[in-house]
């Protein structure tokens, strides 16, 4: 399935590095999401963009910086992360036709050393 793609699939970065995660959806949706999934914890919503406008920021630290240049692409820029930021970062998209059914990408498994 290639409806929602994410790159890279795996990333190891030091605490002083700057990296970016990329998400692209090919479903014609207008809303995109970033989630964090840590071991043995529920998925946590981080950000939501609807028609390129940010509609949700779930009190995410500023070391995570999202960017949504258009409805098909979503980035998560990372800088000065902490080891506790190691997790699976999932992107999802939805069509706001009142169903709000979300379709997820495969995720980026991030390790901060």
**Is 2 exposed, middle or buried (CB count within 10 Å of its CB: 0-12, 13-18, 19+)?**
exposed
Long-range residue pairs from 37-44, CB within 8 A, at least 24 positions apart, any chain? 37/87, 37/88, 37/89, 37/90, 37/107, 38/86, 38/87, 38/88, 39/87, 43/90
CB of residue 80 to another protein, shortest distance in Å: 27
Contacting residue, 2, 55, 70, 82, with another protein by CB under 8 A: 55
By CB under 8 A, the residues from 58 to 87 that bind another protein are: none
**Residue span binding another protein (CB under 8 A) among the ranges 11-19, 69-77, 79-87, 91-99:** 91-99
CB of 104 to another protein, least distance (A): 4
> Does residue number 30 form part of the binding site for another protein (CB under 8 A)?
no
Question: How many residues interact with another protein (rule CB under 8 A)?
Answer: 24
């Amino acid at each position: 399935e290639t409806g929602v793609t994410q790159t890279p699939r795996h990333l190891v970065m030091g605490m002083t590095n700057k990296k970016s995660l990329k998400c692209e959806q090919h479903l014609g949706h207008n809303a995109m999401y970033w989630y964090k999934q840590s071991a043995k914890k529920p998925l946590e919503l981080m950000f939501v963009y609807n028609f390129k406008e940010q509609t949700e920021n779930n009190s995410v630290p500023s070391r995570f910086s999202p960017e949504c240049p258009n409805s098909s692409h979503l980035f998560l820029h990372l800088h000065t992360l902490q080891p506790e930021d190691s997790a699976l970062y999932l992107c999802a998209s939805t069509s706001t036709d009142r169903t709000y059914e979300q379709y997820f990408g495969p995720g980026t498994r991030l390790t901060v050393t």
